[in-house]
Chain A
Amino acid sequence: MTSRTEPGARGALRTVAEHALVIGLLVLFLSPLIWLMLTAFKPYEELFVSPPTILPASATLENFSGGWNVGGGRGIGDSLIVSTISTLICLVLGYPAAYALARRFPPHGQLSFTILSLRMLPPIVPVIGFYLLYQELSLFDTYTGLIVIYTFMNLPLVIWLLAEFLRQIPRSYEEAARIDGAPWYRLFLDILLPLSAPGILTAGILAMIFAWNEFLFALVLTGQNVITLPKALASFFLFQQPNWGQLGAIGIVAIGPLLVLSFYMQRALVRSFSAELGGR
């Protein structure tokens, strides 16, 4: 199965071949994205030549400022507002619940599964009900409305992830603190919060990404007042002759922060799936 035991030059050659294969696959695999990035630096006239140029003949940055001005900037602003606030609410509501599930609710399995299953719902199922409710409550096309539904969408996942992390903190720490007579907020601030910081970060990042990328709720539950980035991109794309360069530029700005996080994310995912299924 592995080449690691093979000695000498043949083994080394095989390793090189394996890396070459993986890198080749990777470039092929990411080519649509690489193409998008190259396009973002092409001037307008160069976007509509056939056959297309691979590298921009005269690279330019004007797509970034252009894309920002045609709605990209507005979209980024609205997305930041909505995703940050909903993530914070998720953490504030989710942390105590996760703690209760991890520590004080012995038959927690069923309850956390029920909570998590809410996350599994395809957005199209609840969206009709939300639309009618939002019309009634005048939450349609408001920041509050979108923040509420993103919190609803991400809270189950946040609770589940935080409970997983909190369960890994030994109970004896808290018991020791309790015997010392420390008040609950000291216990929380001095012990639980620092020890669960990586969990909070993971859950927060995930919730943020989901809210940042979400499209259907934004499409259906908002109008002209709130225009998140995916919605801005979609309308920009569909209702005018697409300026691919500007789309590419906004796209890069939209996904840039996520690319930085992907290394961190795959680690967190591998760890949580190993823990969940590996029986530890």
Chain B
Amino acid sequence: MSRAAMPSDAGSARTASPAEIARLKAERRATLVLLAPALAFLAILSVWPFCYLIYASFTSYQLAIPVPVEWVGLGNFQRVLSNPRFWQSLGITAVFALVAVPLQIALGLGLAMLINRLSRGREIYASLFLIPMMLAPIVVGFSWNLFLNPIYGPLNALLRGLGFSPPAWASSPEWALPTVVLVDIWQWTPFVMVVLLAGLRSIPGRVFEAARVDGSNGWQTFRYILLPMMAPYMTVAFVLRFIDSFKVFDVLYILTKGGPGTSTQNLAYYTYDMGFGRFDFGLAGALSIIQLILLIVGTTAILHFARRGDRRQSMQESRL
């Protein structure tokens, strides 16, 4: 995200006159005045509730029980880590991050390449494919609920008409998780497509011409030219989607309510259920903090590997 710093106003080699120093000071003051309101707003609202969150996570803060709040130290974290439901919800979160997101990248790349081939109407098609991402997740949830409805829904009617005996999708224990993953892929593949479309547009056509002249076939062109050139775009799409995959909540709320049982309960839903279903803010607070840590570690790891991949590739190139 960061770019090389611009040369600063003060960076010129000649010595500054007192008047100039005064002007620079005034500019610095103006900068602070301009930044202050937004930064103060963001700082207050990230620090203040965060203190409450940390406080809650170290106490037995339960709204439903009128007992004095007690300091329990790391007790809530212990309760979380020894609970099989936590590990199950961690696994379900991982399915979204490590199954749904890679599939979105692959499908998004295919879609972007398909649309990029067209000489006309690219933008119109891209905008139409983008629709699911713009919808309120709640609307996404109930359109799919309607679409997959075992009795009144069109999909199962079609499948029955073709002689299959279709599953009950979101309400069946085996199909619920694949169903919500499918809906997530449906909603977010378009976002990946748009990011990768930006990447494809940045590759000049003569690169492919040159590859063809050199006699490389379609697969070789894809593997050794297109993929490496698209790598930064794919990394950005992956990181953004990885972070977002922790947010999956609305669709679960409408489509499965975390069920059947706890089969589609990811970390976000589990935290919601602990906090606002049972008002166990201690446990929910600990869960929130664990998610924050996972997110930071995961994102750092992805970026680290992406950078290492970059380096390895440039080394290979320099050897050639």
Which residues, 96 to 117 on B, are CB-close (under 8 Å) to A? 111, 114-115, 117
Instruction: Report yes or no: B136 in contact with A100, Cβ–Cβ below 8 A.
Output: no
Contacts A255-B134, A266-B123 given; indicate if A274 touches B53 (C-beta within 8 A): no
Q: Which residues from chain B contact A49 at a C-beta distance below 8 Å? A: 152
Instruction: Report yes or no: B131 in contact with A33, Cβ–Cβ below 8 A.
Output: yes
Q: Which residues from chain A contact B12 at a C-beta distance below 8 Å? A: none
Q: Which residues from chain A contact B9 at a C-beta distance below 8 Å? A: 104, 106
Does B6 count as interface, using CB distance less than 8 angstroms? yes
* Minimum Cβ distance to chain B for residue A18 (Å): 6
Contacts A116-B1, A269-B195 given; indicate if A96 touches B139 (C-beta within 8 A): no
Does B132 count as interface, using CB distance less than 8 angstroms? yes
Q: Which residues from chain B contact A261 at a C-beta distance below 8 Å? A: 134
Which residues, 188 to 211 on B, are CB-close (under 8 Å) to A? 194-195, 197-199, 201-202, 205, 208
Q: Which residues from chain A contact B233 at a C-beta distance below 8 Å? A: 273, 277
Interface centre among B1, B199, B291 (most CB of A within 10 A): B1
Contacts A109-B5, A124-B288 given; indicate if A118 touches B42 (C-beta within 8 A): yes
Which residue of chain B has the shortest Cβ distance to A264 in the bound complex? B127
Secondary structure dominating the interface of A: helix
Distance A152 CA – B39 CA, assembled complex (angstroms): 11
Distance A116 CA – B38 CA, assembled complex (angstroms): 13
Contacts A47-B152, A96-B38, A277-B199 given; indicate if A251 touches B130 (C-beta within 8 A): no
Q: Chain A: interface residue count, which band? A: 35 or more
Secondary structure dominating the interface of B: helix
Does A63 count as interface, using CB distance less than 8 angstroms? no
* Minimum Cβ distance to chain A for residue B193 (Å): 9
Does B95 count as interface, using CB distance less than 8 angstroms? no
Q: Which of B7, B136, B267, B292 contacts A229 (CB 8 A)?
A: B136
Instruction: Report yes or no: A254 in contact with B42, Cβ–Cβ below 8 A.
Output: no
Does A215 count as interface, using CB distance less than 8 angstroms? yes
Distance A25 CA – B128 CA, assembled complex (angstroms): 11
Contacts A39-B146, A216-B272, A262-B127 given; indicate if A126 touches B50 (C-beta within 8 A): yes
Instruction: Report yes or no: B2 in contact with A113, Cβ–Cβ below 8 A.
Output: yes
Which residues, 186 to 219 on A, are CB-close (under 8 Å) to B? 209, 212-213, 215-216, 219
* Minimum Cβ distance to chain B for residue A248 (Å): 8
Q: Chain B: interface residue count, which band? A: 35 or more
Which residue of chain B has the shortest Cβ distance to A89 in the bound complex? B41
Q: Which of A22, A36, A101, A122 contacts B125 (CB 8 A)?
A: A22
Contacts A26-B129, A262-B128 given; indicate if A129 touches B198 (C-beta within 8 A): no
Instruction: Report yes or no: B136 in contact with A230, Cβ–Cβ below 8 A.
Output: yes
Which residue of chain A has the shortest Cβ distance to B128 in the bound complex? A26
Q: Which of B28, B52, B127, B201 contacts A133 (CB 8 A)?
A: B52
Instruction: Report yes or no: B146 in contact with A104, Cβ–Cβ below 8 A.
Output: no
Distance A219 CA – B249 CA, assembled complex (angstroms): 11
Instruction: Report yes or no: A52 in contact with B154, Cβ–Cβ below 8 A.
Output: yes
Q: Which residues from chain A contact B253 at a C-beta distance below 8 Å? A: 215, 219, 234
Instruction: Report yes or no: B139 in contact with A270, Cβ–Cβ below 8 A.
Output: no
Q: Which residues from chain B contact A54 at a C-beta distance below 8 Å? A: 154
Instruction: Report yes or no: A262 in contact with B197, Cβ–Cβ below 8 A.
Output: no
* Minimum Cβ distance to chain A for residue B35 (Å): 5
Extra inter-chain contacts (15) besides given A22-B114, A237-B254, A278-B198, CB under 8 Å: A32-B147, A36-B139, A36-B146, A52-B153, A52-B154, A93-B41, A106-B6, A124-B268, A148-B45, A219-B276, A230-B136, A234-B138, A265-B134, A277-B198, A277-B202
11 A-B interface contacts by CB (under 8 A): A1-B212, A15-B119, A19-B121, A22-B114, A35-B146, A52-B152, A104-B34, A105-B31, A132-B53, A254-B136, A277-B236
> A: which residues have CB within 8 A of B?
1-4, 15, 18-19, 21-22, 25-26, 29-33, 35-36, 39, 47-52, 54, 93-94, 96-97, 99-101, 104-110, 112-113, 115-116, 118, 120-133, 148-149, 151-152, 155-156, 159, 209, 212-213, 215-216, 219-220, 229-230, 233-234, 237-238, 242, 244, 247-248, 251, 254-255, 258-259, 261-263, 265-267, 269-271, 273-274, 276-278
